[in-house]
A and B are shown apart, each in its own frame.
Chain A
Amino acid sequence: EAQVTQNPRYLITVTGKKLTVTCSQNMNHEYMSWYRQDPGLGLRQIYYSMNVEVTDKGDVPEGYKVSRKEKRNFPLILESPSPNQTSLYFCASTFLPDRGQTGELFFGEGSRLTVL
């Protein structure tokens, strides 16, 4: 089954304790992205990757890191989480057609993170 898998789905942590949210897709998509969803602010892009070893900042990258060592995986790293990073996080992926525009995004089920 084609899917985007995120882990953990729920996490409560404390300020400063490094954490990683994993994202894996089995559709051989070139493009992967992380979003955070906050009430009243909608979905905001954190980072995205056009292919292996190619990453770029989205609208709200501060406090986050990503890596793309393999095509299927795109982990989101919070080196020193703070309470303002409490949010619902979504990973998404898509293919890149020849003309360069992305196709539809396939989303994971979300990871709800609480930083105390």
Chain B
Amino acid sequence: AQSVTQLDSHVSVSEGTPVLLRCNYSSSYSPSLFWYVQHPNKGLQLLLKYTSAATLVKGINGFEAEFKKSETSFHLTKPSAHMSDAAEYFCGLNQAGTALIFGKGTTLSVSS
């Protein structure tokens, strides 16, 4: 069965420091993987997606993620956090064209 595990429910960083949000997955086949961001009282917005092309994926707002099959991971990173990055982040997995399942989310707090 496929699953997504976001390893941290809450991450706190200072403005200007790196961000790391961790996501592990379980899948029988090569999955498509996604990161979405949700700002307060808003819907979800796609940050980036991996669909079996380059393993290092660049997204919007300076975020990127690296697909590591050997570690079944798809961690999201950003070199320098900005206050506007404070939001909830969801890692998602799609396999075989059916459901897109999500992890439980990671809340990112950014302090000045």
| Chain A contact residues, CB within 8 Å of chain B | 4, 33, 35, 40-45, 48, 50, 56, 58-59, 90, 92, 96, 99-102, 104-105, 107-110
Which residues of chain B have C-beta atoms less than 8 A from A108's C-beta?
43
Closest partner residue, chain A, to B99 (CB atom): A45
Interface string of B74-103 (1 = CB under 8 A from A): 000000000000000010101111111111
Which residues of chain B have C-beta atoms less than 8 A from A96's C-beta?
97
| Inter-chain contact total with CB atoms closer than 8 Å | 66
Q: List 23 A-B contacts (CB under 8 A).
A: A4-B43, A35-B102, A40-B104, A42-B90, A42-B102, A42-B103, A43-B44, A43-B102, A48-B98, A50-B98, A56-B98, A92-B100, A100-B97, A101-B32, A101-B94, A102-B97, A102-B98, A102-B100, A104-B46, A105-B44, A107-B36, A107-B44, A107-B45
B34 near A104: Cβ-Cβ < 8 Å = yes
A105 near B97: Cβ-Cβ < 8 Å = no
B2 to chain A, nearest CB (A): 12
Which residues of chain B have C-beta atoms less than 8 A from A35's C-beta?
102
| Chain B contact residues, CB within 8 Å of chain A | 6, 9, 32, 34, 36, 42-46, 49, 51, 90, 92, 94-105
A107 to B88, CA, bound (A): 15
B99 near A101: Cβ-Cβ < 8 Å = no
A33 to B94, CA, bound (A): 13
Closest partner residue, chain B, to A57 (CB atom): B99
Which residues of chain A have C-beta atoms less than 8 A from B45's C-beta?
107
A33 near B104: Cβ-Cβ < 8 Å = no
- A102-B32, A102-B94, A104-B49 in contact; A90/B44 too (CB < 8 A)? yes
A101 near B104: Cβ-Cβ < 8 Å = no
A43 near B46: Cβ-Cβ < 8 Å = no
A24 to B102, CA, bound (A): 22
A59 to B101, CA, bound (A): 9
**One of A41, A104, A110 near B43 (C-beta < 8 A):** A110
